[in-house]
Structure 1
Amino acid sequence: MHSISNKKINQVTDQTLVVGMDIAKKKHYACFVDERGRGLKKPFPVLQSKEGLEWLYQCIVEAMKEFGKTEVIVGIEPTGHYWLNLAYFLDEKGIPLVMTNPMHVKRSKELDDNLPTKHDAKDALVIARLVKDGRFSYPRILKGMEAELRVGATFRSKLVEEQGAVRNQMIRWLDRYFPEFTQVFPSFGKMALAVLEYTPFPSDLAGKELEEVLALYRQSEGLQSPQSPKAKKLIELAQHSIGVTEGQQMARIEIATLVRRYRQLEEEIEALTEQLIELVQTSVEYDG
């Protein structure tokens, strides 16, 4: 542990220009200090744009010449995803990037002036001084296959989360209009979705014969053989349902929309999963 800390501290020498940056969505703040934390350039704004980042790079190059520095290190306090553009830009320029702990930044501000309030310019200086003390970590700048897998996995997680939200909306809908439904279908498989597509209300099953209902469900895509016992039990439960009967016109539109979205998400998740598997299988490290 001590050897790692010492290595970080030793990374900043009298030849190192330390850059502290406070990250935001549209405008960052940067400041330059030396190895002792003395300010070399007052905090200044850096726009989150190609021109803004190129200007930052020129400022770094000029400062290194002006103050006789041969090395540079840039430290940030990570804020959401806004730091990624800067990270890849600096990586292309061959400039090392490190991260400070947000809690350390907050505590350091309190030590300086007993004011933990947010102040972009002040934060940049605090971050720079934490970096010169070796209080930072190294972020992973993902590239190639690793970057593809991370983006794909993150997006897949969002789709699964959205599908879960749609599932919960469908459950709430059923609690109101067909609470007995879950006695037959505890989850939303193909037949359950077919039922919600063609006979979402107990009244839709009233007066219908078993074969008539099964014929309806066969029209649902991907469902060739609906299960007769489940359909029979559902018809029986529908006869004594306590489901709400008011507002069904709009409720029918609601459940139809939810079913379409649920199926769409199911397809998207499946397709994305297959693509991620193909990426892994085509990678050099995969030994199958």
Structure 2
Amino acid sequence: MDFTQNNRLEQITDETLIIGIDVAKHKHVARAIDDRGRDLAKRLVFENGLTGFKELLDWTQNLSEQTNRPNLIFGMEPTGHYWLNLAYYLKALELHAVVVNPTKVKRTKELDDDSPTKNDTKDAKVIAQVVRAGRYHEPILLEGIYAELREGMKLHDMMQKNLSSVKAQVQNALDRYFPEFTTVFKDWTKKTPIHFLKKGYLPEDIVSCSEEALMVEVKQAAKRGVGIKRVQELKHAAETSVGLTVGLTMAREELSYLIDQYLAIEERIRAHEARLEELVLQVPGASEMIAIKGIGVLTVAGFFAEVGDLSNYKDPRQIIKLAGFNLQLNQSGIFKG
């Protein structure tokens, strides 16, 4: 993996053909320049698919032969996810694909024509010029176990967001129909409150039930932890509730549906976390990291999901910079901060 700009500049020689690609959802635009920044051909517009990728390779190969420049560098912005398919395709063919910072592209685009005009053709050339200046980076294109971990952590985040959404919807329903419920059960995600909510118990249902009947429901959910005193508190809360008394049939359906969703997502998360643990323990050094006090399995899984194989790095500072924790010097005259 690259570390210094000098190393990157050494790869740009008089035998290098630089291809700048402006990536989009359906069509990409490619421009070709040499090591001095001169245009070598008209732009190429190609589809974001196998046919388009092959068209790009044919176009590039012809230019390479015509200009006697066998060394190819394909540069693109890592914006969104549309660049990934092309990057992995080029990597599979052992072609050199690099990425440039979108901020650098934005700041560079006025150098040629003193105009902030933005279009795909211009952006493709600007990307190529940024690559020519050595201001590019080798992309982290994960494979094998590391790719599995990245997709796994992405799915885990998705599940957690869905779980938070369902919890918020349950709280919304409680605020409307039984706002006093959480004064009796501080955490409605425990077994007993989950049982009552799943069965659609609203204030009028609890009021109509005897304490003995409610205790039977409690024992079905939890063998201990909730006694007659808590049941009496629940009855009192139901009797004095200011919750809505309209639309109760559908309100019960809503609560039952949301609790089913909550339980299903929770179960999937537990199973998924167990699978992530199996995966991360296959990574060299992961078990030693997990053994550190305060470091959990998901933390280590998330680390390798972002960083990938540690053997791709030459210096620890690369990982620090990747995480955004590198210190910045702010100096002017005698001021230093």
Is the contact made by 1:202 and 1:241 (CA closer than 8 Å) also made in structure 2?
A: yes
Which letter maps to 1:209? S
- Matching residue of 1:180: 180
Equivalent runs, 1:204-283 vs 2, <5 Å: 204-217=205-218, 223=222, 225=224, 227-228=226-227, 229-283=229-283
Is the contact made by 1:24 and 1:79 (CA closer than 8 Å) also made in structure 2?
A: no
CA distance in 2, matches of 1:71, 1:78: 22
**Change over 3 Å in CA distance of 1:178–1:124 after alignment to 2:** same
**Change over 3 Å in CA distance of 1:57–1:281 after alignment to 2:** same
CA distance in 1, matches of 2:14, 2:55: 24
Shift of 1:77: 0.9
Q: What is the CA RMSD across the aligned residues, in angstroms?
A: 2.0
- Matching residue of 1:29: 29
Shift of 1:46: 1.8
Which letter maps to 2:226? Q
- Matching residue of 1:195: 196
User: Residue 83 of structure 1: SS of its match in structure 2?
Assistant: helix
CA distance in 2, matches of 1:114, 1:165: 48
User: Residue 166 of structure 1: SS of its match in structure 2?
Assistant: helix
Which letter maps to 1:245? T
- Matching residue of 2:333: none
Shift of 1:135: 1.2
User: Residue 4 of structure 2: SS of its match in structure 1?
Assistant: helix
- Matching residue of 1:135: 135
Is the contact made by 2:79 and 2:102 (CA closer than 8 Å) also made in structure 1?
A: no
CA deviation profile, 1:41-60 (whole Å, cap 9, x unmatched): 22221211111112212222
- Matching residue of 2:145: 145
2:102 aligned with 1:106, yes or no? no
**Change over 3 Å in CA distance of 1:102–1:284 after alignment to 2:** closer
CA distance in 1, matches of 2:118, 2:234: 59
CA deviation profile, 1:7-48 (whole Å, cap 9, x unmatched): 222221111110101111111111111011111122221211
Is the contact made by 1:191 and 1:226 (CA closer than 8 Å) also made in structure 2?
A: no
CA distance in 1, matches of 2:217, 2:225: 10
**Change over 3 Å in CA distance of 1:113–1:256 after alignment to 2:** farther
- Matching residue of 1:89: 89
User: Residue 39 of structure 1: SS of its match in structure 2?
Assistant: coil
Is the contact made by 2:200 and 2:255 (CA closer than 8 Å) also made in structure 1?
A: no
TM-score (norm 1): 0.91
Amino-acid identity (%) = 38
Moved more, 196-205 or 266-275: 196-205
Is the contact made by 1:198 and 1:216 (CA closer than 8 Å) also made in structure 2?
A: no
TM-score (norm 2): 0.79
User: Residue 195 of structure 1: SS of its match in structure 2?
Assistant: helix
**Change over 3 Å in CA distance of 1:217–1:21 after alignment to 2:** farther
Shift of 1:285: 4.3
User: Residue 12 of structure 1: SS of its match in structure 2?
Assistant: coil
CA distance in 2, matches of 1:140, 1:48: 21
Shift of 1:247: 2.2
CA deviation profile, 1:218-256 (whole Å, cap 9, x unmatched): 556xx5557224333222211101111122232222222
Shift of 1:266: 0.5
Is the contact made by 1:197 and 1:256 (CA closer than 8 Å) also made in structure 2?
A: yes
Which letter maps to 2:41? K
Is the contact made by 1:28 and 1:47 (CA closer than 8 Å) also made in structure 2?
A: yes
Give the paired residue count.
284
- Ranges in structure 2 where 5+ consecutive residues have no aligned partner: 289-337
